[in-house]
């Protein structure tokens, strides 16, 4: 497979959790984030997607100490999102060791600020988060739906220099019901040069292979790991084939 494999760790209260469709009332706890991060590194993964769900809910970074613990004790390349609303939040994420930040809500509510960060830190360090529900971009920890349609929203930032987009189909997230491949194809048909990171619904290695076959550059996956649907050793071996 050529697709980039990015395991995910979502954090609430310093613990590794997964939600269903972004619902904080549908939460399952899976232990310590540092333990999972070390396991990903041991197997051979070099990327990690970390989401501060407390931060997303409270609109400022909360779990930067957990991020620092991961970056201080592994060599994983970490992208961090959740609650990044200010210059202080961006600085806190980078100071805690994140190599990249994923920013979504601010790109909707304060586009000039997002564009400023994109210019300051560069398109390799700023990932545009595009979380979609019913075709609209969702913000603030998926608590609110904006009026922004996905493709015009992306065009605005592709024109501004965005290269990396993390696209989550919220109705799929945490459901293990399969990824929204048609949605990702639509995005890549419109913007073929994007490094599109698919997120939501991955339930098996076959789902990841289907994304790879569809030409999706990268995938984030989480719940399928924690629920035992994906064996990480098997996935890593599959990922090495044809690379």
Tell me how far apart the alpha carbons of residues 6 and 50 are, in angstroms, rounded to a whole number: 10
pLDDT tens, the chain, 243 aa long:
999 999 999 999 999 998 877 788 888 899 999 999 999 999 999 999 999 999 988 989 999 999 999 999 999 999 999 999 999 999 999 999 999 999 998 999 999 999 999 999 999 999 999 999 988 998 876 677 788 999 999 999 999 999 999 999 888 877 788 999 999 999 999 999 999 999 999 999 999 999 999 999 999 999 899 999 999 999 999 998 765
What is the per-residue pLDDT for 225?
93
131 is catalytic: yes
What is the per-residue pLDDT for 243?
59
The DSSP result for 30-85, as a single string, is EE-HHHHHHHHHHHT--EEEEEEHHHHHHTS---HHHHHHHHHH---EEEEESS--
Local structure of residue 206 (DSSP, 8 states): H
**Residue of 10, 54, 64, 212 marked active site:** 10
What is the per-residue pLDDT for 173?
77
**Residue of 89, 131, 173, 212 marked active site:** 131
Closest residue by Cα to residue 11 from 46, 49, 59, 44: 49
């Amino acid at each position: 497979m050529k697709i980039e494999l990015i395991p995910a760790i979502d954090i609430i209260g310093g613990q590794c959790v997964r939600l269903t469709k972004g619902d904080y009332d549908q939460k399952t706890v899976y232990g310590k984030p540092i333990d999972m991060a070390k396991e990903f590194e041991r197997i051979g993964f070099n990327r990690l997607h970390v989401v501060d769900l407390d931060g997303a809910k409270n609109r400022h970074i909360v779990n930067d100490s957990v991020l620092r613990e991961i970056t201080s004790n592994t060599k994983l390349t970490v992208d961090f999102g959740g609650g990044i609303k200010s210059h202080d939040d961006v600085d806190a994420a980078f100071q805690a060791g994140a190599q990249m930040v994923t920013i979504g809500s601010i790109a909707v509510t304060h586009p000039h600020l997002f564009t400023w960060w994109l210019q300051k830190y560069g398109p390799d360090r700023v990932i545009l988060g595009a979380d979609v529900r019913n075709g609209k971009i969702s913000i603030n920890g998926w608590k609110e739906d904006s009026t922004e349609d996905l493709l015009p929203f992306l065009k605005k930032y592709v024109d501004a220099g965005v290269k990396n987009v993390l696209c989550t189909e919220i109705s799929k997230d945490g459901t293990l019901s399969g990824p929204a491949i048609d949605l990702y194809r639509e995005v890549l048909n419109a913007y073929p040069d994007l490094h599109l990171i698919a997120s939501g619904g991955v339930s098996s290695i076959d789902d990841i292979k289907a994304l790879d076959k569809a030409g999706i550059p990268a995938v984030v996956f989480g719940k399928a790991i924690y629920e035992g649907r994906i064996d990480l050793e098997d996935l890593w071996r599959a990922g090495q084939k044809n690379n």
